Amino acid sequence: MDKKPLRDIFKAQGKPFAVPLPYFNRKRAMECVECVGGCVPSCPEKIVFKESGQAPHLDFSKSGCTFCGACLRACKECGGVLEQSLGGIEAVALIDTAKCLGHQGVVCVACQDACKDKAIHFLGMFKPRIDLGACTGCGFCVGVCPTEAILFMKRSV
């Protein structure tokens, strides 16, 4: 298997992908940008961040999304851009094999242990693979990775 196209995904990322909140309605993104950001303080995991002039995004460096719905409830009070009918997070995790300890021959299962959806499986002892069909984009695997080898990109439809 040619690995160059996979590496190019990470090179093209340049600026990290801003992971949208669960239930995010892209069609109403400008309303979200102009909102005061009631979703930010509502998150019990403290992973929702909003910079001026941008829609809120998730930062998985410390924790992941439990899909508790607190941001959804807060958003209903501020404008209702988040819609439960839209489902989960429109992003999936990918492993940068150049950074991953397992792909360098070091036994590390931190991401698999943190994955509540059992979406990370190993080929042998060393090579983790993410089942994109099972990955909910919750992000719990990100903060536990000692080399920051797990990145997110937009889920393709």
Q: Hey, is 117 helix, strand or coil?
A: coil
Lookup: tokens for 56:
């809120």
Higher-confidence residue of 52 and 109: namely: 109
Q: In the structure, what pLDDT confidence band is assigned to residue 155 with cuts at 50, 70 and 90?
A: confident
As a whole-number percent, the residues of the chain with pLDDT over 70 amount to 89
Beta bridge partners of 123: 127
For the stretch 68-110, pLDDT in tens is: 999 999 988 777 888 887 778 888 899 999 999 999 999 999 9
Please give the angle made by the CA atoms of 14, 17 and 19, to the nearest 5 degrees: 170
Averaged over 51-67, what is the pLDDT? 92
Query: Which domains does the chain show, CATH number per domain?
Result: 17-77 (3.30.70), 91-154 (3.30.70.20)
Rounded mean pLDDT of 121-147?
Answer: 93
Structure confidence at residue 85 (pLDDT): 79
Handedness of CA 149, 6, 112, 105 (dihedral sign): negative
Contacts of 3 (CB under 8 A, 6+ apart): 97
